């Protein structure tokens, strides 16, 4: 079946460093991708999205990169802060389908 997976379950970074969270998706026809942030005890919160006709999109301190050739998605967080500590999920949207979520990567920011 279809699946969206993340390469590492936990990522630990020093405050102020840049973070890179990776995601592999399996449906080459997926045309929309989203990154969500989930803080402890809360629901997932939208961070940034990207459509398949783009390979890069920037937000405030976050950048999403899409490599369709290898079906890879990454989320880059610049100058990581303690408030960035959370679980990050990628999700893919196949055409005519529903969002498929990965298992998530825990980002730990060390002071």
Partner 1 sequence: NAGVTQTPKFRILKIGQSMTLQCAQDMNHNYMYWYRQDPGMGLKLIYYSVGAGITDKGEVPNGYNVSRSTTEDFPLRLELAAPSQTSVYFCASSPGTGLQETQYFGPGTRLLVL
Measured CA to CA in angstroms, residue 10 lies from 49, 86, 105 at distances of 22, 10, 5
Out of 64, 89, 107, 109, the residue judged to bind partner 1 by CB under 8 A: 89
The SS3 call for residue 11 is strand
How far is Cα 107 from Cα 104, in angstroms, rounded to an integer? 10
Q: Of the listed pieces 16-24, 41-49, 54-62, 68-76, which binds partner 1 according to CB under 8 A?
A: 41-49
Out of 71, 76, 101, 108, the residue judged to bind partner 1 by CB under 8 A: 101
Binding footprint of partner 1 on the chain (CB under 8 A): 4, 9, 31-32, 34, 36, 41-46, 49, 51, 89, 93, 98-99, 101-104
């Amino acid at each position: 079946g279809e699946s969206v997976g993340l390469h590492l379950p936990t990522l630990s970074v020093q405050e102020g460093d840049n973070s890179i969270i990776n995601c592999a998706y399996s449906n080459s026809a997926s045309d929309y991708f989203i990154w969500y942030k989930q803080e402890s005890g809360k629901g997932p919160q939208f961070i940034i999205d990207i459509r398949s006709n783009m390979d890069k999109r920037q937000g405030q301190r976050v950048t999403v990169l899409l490599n369709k050739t290898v079906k890879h998605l990454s989320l880059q967080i610049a100058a990581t802060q303690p408030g960035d500590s959370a679980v990050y999920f990628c999700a893919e949207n196949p055409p005519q389908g529903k969002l498929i979520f990965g298992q998530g990567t825990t980002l730990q920011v060390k002071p």
